[in-house]
Amino acid sequence: VEDVQAVVQWANAHRVALVPSGGRTGLSGGAVAANGELVLSLERMNQAIDFNAVDRTLTVQAGMPLEAVHNAAREQGLVYPVDFASRGSCAIGGTIATNAGGIRVIRYGNTRSWIAGLTLVTATGEGLQLNRGLVKNSSGYDLRQLVIGAEGTLGIVVQAQLWLTDAPPES
């Protein structure tokens, strides 16, 4: 997180535009550096950080592939229900940035429904903790909901707390 903050601060000071990049699976061209922007890869930010059994949340870095998130949830006897055909290469940060739906969207909803909290690096390099995994938060605006689906325009997601659920019954 500190490295991302340092890069963002440098880019801000030198007026260099950044394009955050994860798994490079997006089809809309949102992560293309077409005008000389600096591509900031989050690929090495690919670890699970914490599991909270009481809240059933998994905290992960933004570059973690979706398939690795599924595996980490399965190790806890739970599932992260958002899924895509590109699960082996798409990064969780990209799914958050696009509020992706995937192949289970009808049953489980979009990515937004499964984000308990976010850590965001703003354009000035400041780190923000959004919602901190709270189920009910009446302390003001829920900025986490603004960031989800904003495609990196409000900041770079560097960590996420994901809600997990029980596996569906065998069919």
Query: Given this model, what pLDDT does residue 36 score?
Result: 76
For range 97-104, the mean pLDDT: 86
Kindly report, residue by residue over 114-141, the tens digit of the pLDDT.
Answer: 999 999 999 999 999 999 877 777 788 8
Checking if the pLDDT of 73 tops 80, the result is yes
Confidence of residue 35 (pLDDT cuts 50, 70, 90): confident
Q: What is the DSSP string of the chain?
A: -HHHHHHHHHHHHTT--EEEESS---SS-TT---SSPEEEE-TT---EEEEETTTTEEEEETT-BHHHHHHHHHHTT-B-----TTTTT-BHHHHHHHT---TTHHHH--GGGGEEEEEEE-TTS-EEEESTT-SS--SS--HHHHHTTSTTSS-EEEEEEEE-BPPPPP-
Percent of the chain with pLDDT over 70: 93
pTM here is 0.88
**Regarding predicted confidence, which is higher, 31 or 168?**
168
